[in-house]
Structure 1
Amino acid sequence: MIKKLFKYDKSRLIETLWECDPDIYNILVSSDDLQDARNSMFDHLNGIERHLFNIYSDKHFKDKNLLERNNSKECIRVLKNLIRTENEKISNFSALNTLYKIANKKINPHRLNEGFLFEFIFLFRGINCDSGIYTEKDVPLFLKLSGLEAALERTKSLDRYASNMEDFLKRYKTGMDKDLIKKRRQNRKFIQGLFNADDPDWLDYRWHLKNIISDIDTLHEIVKLSNDELRGLRCAKKYKIPFQITPYYLSLFDRKNTGRYDHTIRAQVLPSENYCLNYIQTRKSGSNMDFMDEKSTSPIKGITRRYPQILILKPFDSCPQICVYCQRNWEITDIKDAAFSKETMTNAIEWMRDNQYITEVLITGGDPLTLSDIYIEWLLSMISGIEHIERIRVGTRIIVTLPQRITEDLVEVLRRYNEFGVRELCIVTHFEHPTEITPDSLEAIKRIKKTGINIYNQQVFTYYNSKKYESSLLRKLLKKSGIDPYYIFNTKGKDETIDYRVPIARIEQERKEEARFLPGLVRTDEPVFNVPRLGKSHIRSWQEHEVIMILQDGRRVYRFYPWESKYAVVEPYNYIDVSIYDYLKRLNDDNENIDDYSSIWYYF
């Protein structure tokens, strides 16, 4: 259905738009002015709402199934938001005015964006109970049966769901794939030869830290780089944007760059030209690089606090490996320039000691496990000495980027501060893709889990792990490996990370149509959106957020209600999302069947 529309030119899309709702077209062309059109539109939508669930409704609505009518109700709610003058003022744009001009031929079709037209084509279809997502979904046969007959028929339908899911899962490799393990061992040998390193060197995390790859020539000598990747790396060098990759993580690359399995891995660490130019533009414009506005939630140097009982402690400002999309790219430094200030940490810990309401500490940064065992021991002993601290989280990506760092000595240090019934010490890590779970990372996980320490995963939902069931495979593998899925984050809305961002509708769709097919203990991660300064807002519930406008380029404007909005008069946060049309076009260019995503337009 979407593929077919992608082939239409703008004039044909406009024709399709009005075919989807001739009544709205007639309202727009017969109205004296915009305000008249607005009033008539509200009357029209209110009329449809009254008929949707009225037993005396005309045949058009009674013949539609309940799911279509419920979807219509949601589409009406959205369209009412879009035509409100208040929301036009907030977003500085009027979708209704654009529709009015299109209907009255007062705008050149070539000036219109396909994303805008697509949004309203599907919105109008939804309002008229013609979304197309239920046409082949008749009432399941088992609902018409009972007893054993119903049970057997239900089993068949559930098997079909499971079979469909398995077909998608088979498209993706994991780091435990035998062929992949073999290729990566070959990569390891090549890197060792290049650095004149033996096996004991490779198993020593300090060797990896000393040999972090941060220059283009060495990187290019190890792996084949595309022209796009080279342009991005040269741009990063020109503008002094640091990139660094551990030898271990580089061994996970496809050295020949065939694009078969390492697309996600490369995208995490190789800055694109677009990223670099946007990063520099943001910096030059004087805009705040601190997207989460952590400076406004930092009561003392080294601490960020956004919630009543937990705070963030940042002892170290670098990582062995820099993730391009990192929310703290404004403060993450090259590992050679990174610093640990005992004085800053002492002051921060004393601040925590004086605040009895703080019961939990997330030690993050940078990556705190880059520090030596001595520093980590000192830090944990100081924090655990505070009587009201019940839990210490250690936020680290070391398990993914440098599993050799998880030594017996380090694990023993961590174990000492995990006291059952007294205080929990847990690890919060960051696997992005199934190909990152390798025999080496699994060995690190085993060492930690043997001590009784829990491990949780926070995944950032980016373009590079957003294909159908891709994140489901990660969840399954994480759970089997001893890690509990914890959060799945909508990518931060920073201009420089536009290549990574995914429409909110896609993360909602993934939760409802993919994650939901997994057993409950596997899909334990909560989808969240981080509101700057205020913290996480759940994405599941429409009461937490709403679409208030669709801009001329097809991007949705969302209003987010922060987590404490039921307790205090906290101003909502307005967010401009990624265009669904642009996202699907990108998937289409990457040879993905975009019709598999057809319901995405109806997630708000």
Structure 2
Amino acid sequence: MTKKKQVLVELGKEELLEKMWAADPVIKQMLINSENLEKARDHFFIYLNELERSYFDIYTDKPYLGMHPVEKNIAKECIRVLKNVIRTENEVLTKGSALKHLYKIANKRKGAFNAVEPGFLSEFLYLFRGIHGDLKLPEKVDLLEASGRKAGEERSRQLDKYSGFLMKHYNRMKSGLDQSSIRYQQKMKHKILDYFQATEEDWKDYQWHLKHVIKDLKTLQSLVTLDSEEIEGLKLAIQFDIPFHITPYYLSLFSQSGRSRHDKGIRAMVMPSVTYCHNVNENRLKKTDMDFMGEKSTSPIDAVTRRYPQIVILKPFDTCPQICVYCQRNWEIKNINEATVTRSKINKAIKWIKNDPYVTEVLITGGDPLTLKNETILEIVKAVAAIDHVERIRIGTRTLITLPFRWDQELIDTLAKFNEYGRREVCIITHFEYAMEITPDILEVIGRIRKAGMSIYNQEVFTYYNSKKFETAFLRRMMKLSGVDPYYTFNTKGKAETIDFRVPMARIQQERKEEARLQSGIVRTDEPVFNVPKLGKTHLRAWQDHEPVMIKQSGERIYRFYPWESRIAIVDDYLYTDIPIYDYLKRLHEDGEDIRKYRSIWYYF
């Protein structure tokens, strides 16, 4: 019987080290032969420069002459990253030195090997392979060898293969529109109604849902099975006074019998984990500021945030019917029964917008503004629409998903009357995270909003729970078919307390290149972005906007970000410490995922 080949995360640390040095024995010998760290650095740069030059030299006698341009291109990128990592400038900037660790390990200094984690060794294993173009890509596609009809037929067969690969993954996934999902949601709905002694009429009344938002463990346990880890997390949330809200509607998407493959992410989004609760509590005890985006420093007046030239955020309300655990504003979100609307504060904020002619767009969000009554929303939107220089009003809300019955016809008509073609746009911004969230109820609401002339845009937060292969592609497909336009895909904020949700930046780049790219351009309209604190979104597809500058002992990459305005003004850079790719792959492996499907992740920088 053939022994199954071990995957990366199953290898011992010593074996990883052996593979790392085997990937480039010259580097190991060079480090050993160097009398000190600075000599090692000099030799390393000379070696990389010669290697790089051989890739550009068409007359080279090195074995890289026959290397494929794709392999050469990635090899050049790996060389660039390695040069960044061994620069003294970046060591000073990041207060660390990966080269020092490599030097000590090569020279078998005491404690050197124990000082680094498998993630560190893995990064250099793939970089050392990468600088030689040893990428282990699955196949070579020759597009230029044939011509004419034959070439067209061959290319069509290759494209069928790509499309079939995509559809094969689609077929393994479920949306809330599948008949089995609809039946199950109906079953859960009736259980919830029975528990609250409510009627079908109550179910369609959003006020009933608001009155019965689930925010205690006893009610939740009476309706769905929770495992010990979920129970412990909820107990800690109550103990540490960390608010959690789940609408009865959203609870109907839960698997009644316990956490499953299809509702794992849905549960994680609304039930604080043990790690999250301990981290939030520790931050509070240490008085650590959890305002990751620096909104206090980008607020020119209460209830307003401004990070861009033409758009501002207006926050009239500081809670939501349902609280997302990964929320960037978790530091200011309150329990639903504690939240208030301060009219004078809102009026002053709107007056401030009116007095600034350079603001042309207002995002009304919070919290979730649609927790408020129609009259209050009308009052706010009407006041903003009365400002001559405002040409777009966005309503940022997740009620479309968590409380679809909130979208009564009165609300839709109220918003639509301010949507004037050629004069002003009113649009909806929401957060679909999983295809299971797209249900018949939500489809009906989307239809009415679209018929009223308003567009709906989605800003997906790319988390661990929707980062598996083709999950985001499937969500994209279902959203577009349902009338929602993908707009942004956000790299999860680097908040320490939300570590459960974080994904290496390389994964969102990989998704864009290897999964989204197989979809039609009209479907993959979202742009992957990173939100730089205080400064705003930076696109992740451009080297000019960010670069890896260091690899920490645990395998975390440190990136240097150059803000969106860095080509029009001298703006401070920002350092971001990512989570280790190795740790992410290990977690996927433990969850039963085949991590060989992610093998190219190491080469996204």
TM range (shorter): over 0.9
Once the two structures are overlaid, the 10-residue window that deviates more, 3-12 or 309-318, is: 3-12
Once the two structures are overlaid, the 10-residue window that deviates more, 2-11 or 324-333, is: 2-11
Q: State which of 137, 140, 146 in structure 2 corresponds to 1:138.
A: 140
Amino acid aligned to 1:115: G
Structure 1 equivalent of residue 254 of structure 2: 253
Whether 2:573 is the aligned partner of 1:569: answer no
Structure 2 equivalent of residue 273 of structure 1: 274
Measured against aligned partners, the alpha-carbon deviations of 1:225-254 in whole angstroms (never above 9, x if no partner) come to 010000100010110001010000000000
Whether 2:65 is the aligned partner of 1:62: answer yes
Once the two structures are overlaid, the 10-residue window that deviates more, 59-68 or 378-387, is: 59-68
CA contact (8 A) 2:503 2:579 kept: yes
SS of structure 1 residue aligned to 2:338:
coil
Structure 2 equivalent of residue 392 of structure 1: 393
Structure 2 equivalent of residue 330 of structure 1: 331
Q: CA deviation at 1:264?
A: 1.1
Q: CA deviation at 1:258?
A: 4.8
Whether 2:559 is the aligned partner of 1:555: answer no
CA contact (8 A) 2:9 2:585 kept: no
TM-score, normalised to structure 2's length? 0.98
Tell me, in whole angstroms, the C-alpha distance in 1 between the residues paired with 2:104 and 2:550. Answer: 17
Structure 2 equivalent of residue 99 of structure 1: 102
Structure 2 equivalent of residue 458 of structure 1: 459
CA contact (8 A) 2:314 2:364 kept: yes
Whether 2:493 is the aligned partner of 1:492: answer yes
Tell me, in whole angstroms, the C-alpha distance in 2 between the residues paired with 1:477 and 1:156. Answer: 26
Measured against aligned partners, the alpha-carbon deviations of 1:131-189 in whole angstroms (never above 9, x if no partner) come to 212xx42243x532111111111110000001111111222210101001001101000
Structure 2 equivalent of residue 315 of structure 1: 316
CA contact (8 A) 1:425 1:453 kept: yes
Tell me, in whole angstroms, the C-alpha distance in 1 between the residues paired with 2:544 and 2:320. Answer: 37
Q: State which of 84, 89, 98 in structure 2 corresponds to 1:86.
A: 89
- Percent identity of equivalent pairs: 53
TM-score, normalised to structure 1's length? 0.98
Tell me, in whole angstroms, the C-alpha distance in 2 between the residues paired with 1:71 and 1:292. Answer: 33
Structure 1 equivalent of residue 470 of structure 2: 469
Tell me, in whole angstroms, the C-alpha distance in 2 between the residues paired with 1:460 and 1:103. Answer: 41
Amino acid aligned to 1:524: T
Measured against aligned partners, the alpha-carbon deviations of 1:107-136 in whole angstroms (never above 9, x if no partner) come to 443443100000000000000111212xx4
Give the alignment's Cα RMSD to 1 decimal.
1.1
CA contact (8 A) 1:176 1:437 kept: yes
Where do 1:41-52 residues align within 5 Å?
41-52=44-55
Q: Alpha carbons of 1:581 and 1:387: their partners in 2 closer, same or farther (altered >3 Å)?
A: same
Measured against aligned partners, the alpha-carbon deviations of 1:386-416 in whole angstroms (never above 9, x if no partner) come to 1001000000000100000000111110111
CA contact (8 A) 1:2 1:598 kept: no
For structure 2, the 5+ residue unaligned runs are none
CA contact (8 A) 1:302 1:313 kept: yes
Structure 2 equivalent of residue 114 of structure 1: 118
Tell me, in whole angstroms, the C-alpha distance in 2 between the residues paired with 1:117 and 1:191. Answer: 50
Tell me, in whole angstroms, the C-alpha distance in 2 between the residues paired with 1:533 and 1:348. Answer: 19
CA contact (8 A) 2:226 2:259 kept: no
Tell me, in whole angstroms, the C-alpha distance in 2 between the residues paired with 1:54 and 1:403. Answer: 61
Amino acid aligned to 1:32: E
Measured against aligned partners, the alpha-carbon deviations of 1:479-506 in whole angstroms (never above 9, x if no partner) come to 1111100000000000000000000000
Whether 2:592 is the aligned partner of 1:588: answer no
CA contact (8 A) 1:3 1:594 kept: no
4+ runs of 1 displaced by more than 2 Å?
Answer: 1-8, 107-112
Where do 1:340-489 residues align within 5 Å?
340-489=341-490
CA contact (8 A) 1:10 1:110 kept: no
Whether 2:23 is the aligned partner of 1:17: answer no
For structure 1, the 5+ residue unaligned runs are none
Tell me, in whole angstroms, the C-alpha distance in 2 between the residues paired with 1:446 and 1:292. Answer: 34
Tell me, in whole angstroms, the C-alpha distance in 2 between the residues paired with 1:4 and 1:490. Answer: 26
SS of structure 1 residue aligned to 2:144:
helix
Measured against aligned partners, the alpha-carbon deviations of 1:22-78 in whole angstroms (never above 9, x if no partner) come to 111111000010000000100000000110121221241013211111111000000
Amino acid aligned to 2:319: S
Structure 2 equivalent of residue 228 of structure 1: 229
Q: Alpha carbons of 1:2 and 1:507: their partners in 2 closer, same or farther (altered >3 Å)?
A: farther
CA contact (8 A) 2:433 2:460 kept: yes
Amino acid aligned to 1:466: S
Whether 2:126 is the aligned partner of 1:125: answer no
Structure 2 equivalent of residue 157 of structure 1: 158
Q: CA deviation at 1:4?
A: 3.1
Q: State which of 5, 8, 17 in structure 2 corresponds to 1:5.
A: 8
Amino acid aligned to 1:533: K
